[in-house]
Structure 1
Amino acid sequence: MENHEKILLVDDEEGILKLLQITLNKERYSNITCCTTGHQALALIRQNSYDLILLDVTLPDTDGFELCREIRKISHTPIIFVTSCTSDFDKLTGLSIGGDDYITKPFNPLEVVARIKAFFRRQGLTKAAHSPLDDTRTYQYASFTFSPADARLIVDGAEVECTAKELELLHFFCRNPNRLFTSSQIYEYVWGNPGYGEEKTVTMHISKIRKKLGDNPKAPQLILNLRGIGYKFVPPKASDQGEETS
C-alpha cells in the first residue's frame, strides 16, 4: 500500500537526498520532493502543502534556522532539523524557533525513515483517537480560548500564532487537566517516540506555550513544574472541561 504523505527534503548534499529518497521509496513513500537551497525550499512551500519537512541546518544560501523562521510565517508544517551540530544550544535554538524534532549527522538513513514512519504513525493514531476535527469542544478559560478544530488560540482577545507541535502539546494538556506527567511521558504521547533523554525538547516547548499564554515562567500558574517529577496543567477556572460548540 502506497503512503500518500508529502515530504520535502532540504539538504545541500545531493548524495544524502538521493539516499533518503531511495530508502523512503522502499517504504512506499512516493510523494518526495528534494531541493538543495533555502530559496528553492521556500518557493516550494509557498506553492505546495507538505506533511513533513526534513531541513538541513547548513545550506549554501542561508542557514536552516533562518529558513525555519521564514517558513513559520507561512506554514505550520512539522519540521525535523537534520544537522551535524550536536550541542544543546543548537538543538534548543532549532526547537525555540519552531522546529519539532532534531536528527544529528552522521545518521543511518534507516533510522531517519523509522523516525518519519513513527511520526506519521503517531499522527494517524492521534487523528483516529483524538482528531482535532472531531474535538468540537472549545476550551474556554479565564485568560484564553483554544479551539482544536480550528487550530486557534485566543489569549486576552487576540489570536496567537502557534506551530503544529505547540498546538498538539496544548491540546494534550487541555484534554488532561490537573494530571501529572513526566517529561518522558509527555514526549511519548505528543511526539510519538520514547522520551528518555528528550527532557530539553519538552521543556523548550512548554516554555514557548507559557509565553504565548502569558504564564509567568518564574511563577507559572497554568503549566506547573513539580521539580524532579513532571508537569501538570491547572485550568485557570473552576471547570476543567471544554465547552461544547454548537
Structure 2
Amino acid sequence: MLLGSARDHRPGRRERRFPPADPRPTVRDLVNDDYSATELGSHWFQRPEPDPAPDRREGEVLRFGPGVTAAAARRAGNTPTAVQIWHGTLPGTPPPRPPRPRRLRRYAPAALILAAVLVFLAWREYGPRAAVRDVAVTAPGSPLGCDGTADVVGVVRTDGRPGTLTYHWERSDGTRSAPLRETLARGQEEARLHLLWTFHGPGAHRAVARLVITSPATRTAEGTFTYRCG
C-alpha cells in the first residue's frame, strides 16, 4: 500500500513550484516581539538634540541667535502701515489733493468789490495830482478912485483831478502875501483866487499884481490897474 500526499495528479496539469526561502534574517527577526512601534522608531531614527538652556544673570535672560538683522529692520521699515494706507501717505504716491475752499469762494465776490472800492479811494486820495493848464490874472479895467479897493482875480485852469494849489501874491509896492492853499475837488477844472488891494491918500499909481503858483507846478501871471486920487 502506497502512502503519499493528496496532490492532484491530473494528467496535463503543471505542478507549481515556489522559490526557496531567503536564509538571511529580516528586520522582524532581529527585533524582539515586545518592541512597540514607538520604541522601534526611536531606536532606528536619531532625534535632534534640544537647544541648551541659556545662562541666567540676576533677572536677565541671555538669548542666543542672530536676532533682528539690519535687512529685516529695513524690510519692516519699508512695509506700509495701516495708518499710511488710510491717510494715503504711502511712499511714492502723489500727495492727496487739498479740499476745495468752498467758504472762500462764497465770499470771493464781496471781497473783490471791497478791494475795488478801496483801490478807487486810494487812487482818488493818493493818485496823480491836479495838473495846472493855464493861469491868468484879471484886474479892474477903469482907474481906481480915492481910498478904493481893487479886486484882482487870478484864474487857474486844471485838468479836473483833485489836489491842492499852493500860491502867493506879489505886489508892485514890494510886499507879498503869505503862502496860501486852495483845495481842488474832483471834476473842478477852474479855481478863482482873489487879491484885495486897498489904496489911501491922494496921488496916482500904476499897480501890478503878480500871482505865483508854486505847487503842483510853478506858474506865474500878472495884472495891472491904475489908482488916481486928487
Using the size of structure 2 for normalisation, the TM-score is 0.14
User: Higher strand share goes to which structure?
Assistant: 2
User: Higher helix share goes to which structure?
Assistant: 1
Using the size of structure 1 for normalisation, the TM-score is 0.14
